[in-house]
Amino acid sequence: MNTANLAAHPPLTGTSGIDFTQAMAFIWREAEMLDRHDYSPWLALWTEDGRYIIPIDQDETADPLNSLNIAYDDAEMRKARVKRLRSGFAMSSAPAARTARTVSRFVVVGDSEDGLDIRAVQHIVEYKFDRTRILAGEVLYRLVCGTDGLALARKEIRLLNSDDPLWGIGYLL
């Protein structure tokens, strides 16, 4: 096995102008915001036309816009989702679950003037109603340079078990 390729790293800054190390730090900061239920700063991370998508289909070539999704949120839907989570009136979010997430295995899958696409793996450990549940999946992040630094233009979460019968997720992935 050629181990020289395993040591290769993406360039720190590519065509997008986004530094890979800063991109990873941004993604980790976003995960921490979600674990702490810091939804206002989380909403501020997004571009106005950004999309938060959780497809059911495992086929990566499927178009989420024309497929069944657990979530397909634009800015207004993200705000409405956060409002429901904060209100305590949504059955799936009362009481709020405690979560701890790990995001790892960052791979640059696209780098252009339009932004940086990074695929990563996310594990979420949820504790609620005296039980622990683990969710895992691949996440595709599209990061762009915004006026205040990096911004999320897309976050697409493909859960490993998204085709199980739907059960409530009372938090943001």
- Distant-in-sequence, close-in-space partners of 20: CB < 8 Å, separation ≥ 6: 9, 10, 11, 12, 13, 14, 106, 108, 116
CATH number of domain containing 91: 3.10.450.50
Split into its structural domains, the chain has a count of 1
Contact (Cβ atoms closer than 8 angstroms) between residue 164 and residue 136: no
pTM score of the predicted model: 0.86
**Domain coverage including residue 126:** 20-159
Q: What is the mean pLDDT of the chain?
A: 86
> 75-133, pLDDT tens digit by residue?
999 999 899 888 766 555 567 789 999 999 999 999 999 999 999 999 999 998 898 98
Whether residue 36 lies inside any domain: the answer is: yes
